[in-house]
Amino acid sequence: MQIVKARFRTNEEFIGAYSSDFPNGGLFVPTTTLLTAGTEVVLEINCDGLPNKVLIRSTVQSWRPALPRLRVRAGAVLAFAADEAAKRDFILAALKGSIRLPPKRKHTRIPVMVPVRYRRLDTFEEVVGNLAEISIGGALLQSAQVPPVSAELVLSLIPPGGAATIDIEGKVTYQSPDGSAGVKFSFRDGGGARRLRELIRRIRQD
């Protein structure tokens, strides 16, 4: 996946770059990297007003070169994906100061859409779902059957390009009304963290 980084020093700078002209919102990102219209990318937003970096799946709408004599910066216009509305709303609310910010995460989660099967540690019944975000510390699990807070899970998934299933243990830390649950990973052996790092590396390269 191609990651486009956007750094904003102030809330006002981000709001000035934000565009509501697209159905799901969009952003002008200063960058000298040539981006082709229609390319799907992951936009990494870093702003002093946010507790963490936020990664949003987006599509390139246009790119322009720099015009120094006219003081025009090189950059691209990106439109946010439809299923990233919750992140968009969080960013706008956070930068406008209308919500209480969550604590800062140690690891930045990257957006994914990876099929997963999971079960509670005290059962053998597996449930189908998807991981919508993942980092070395945890993931966002989407499922028609959202597990309760404090439930201990075993998540089974196949890494991109892999053949064997890997299992990751975790604990549900919160639930969202949209049918998702935050899972904090736990490692009972030294190889668990290594396998997870390899999984994230493969996802980034997919």
Q: How many domains does the chain fold into?
A: 2
pTM of the model: 0.65
Q: In which band, very low, low, confident or very high, does the pLDDT at 118 lie, cut at 50, 70 and 90? A: very high
Q: What is the pLDDT of residue 188?
A: 62
Owning domain of residue 177: 110-205
Q: State the CATH number of the domain containing residue 163.
A: 2.40.10.220
- Whose CA is closest to 24, among 90, 97, 77, 89? 89
Per-residue pLDDT at 85: 86
% residues pLDDT > 70 (the chain): 92
Mean pLDDT, rounded, of the chain: 86
Residue 100, in any domain of the structure: no
Give the residue from 71, 95, 119 where a domain finishes. 95
Give the per-residue pLDDT at 177.
67
Q: Is 3 exposed, middle or buried (0-12, 13-18, 19+ CB in 10 A)?
A: exposed
Q: In the prediction, which pLDDT does 58 show? A: 96
Domain membership flag for residue 103: no
* Helical residues (DSSP H) of 53-205, grouped into ranges: 85-95, 190-205
- The domain boundary residue, chosen from 63, 95, 127: 95
Residue-level pLDDT at 101: 58
Asked if residue 91 is part of any domain, the answer here is yes
- Report if residue 132 sits inside a domain: yes
165, part of any domain: yes
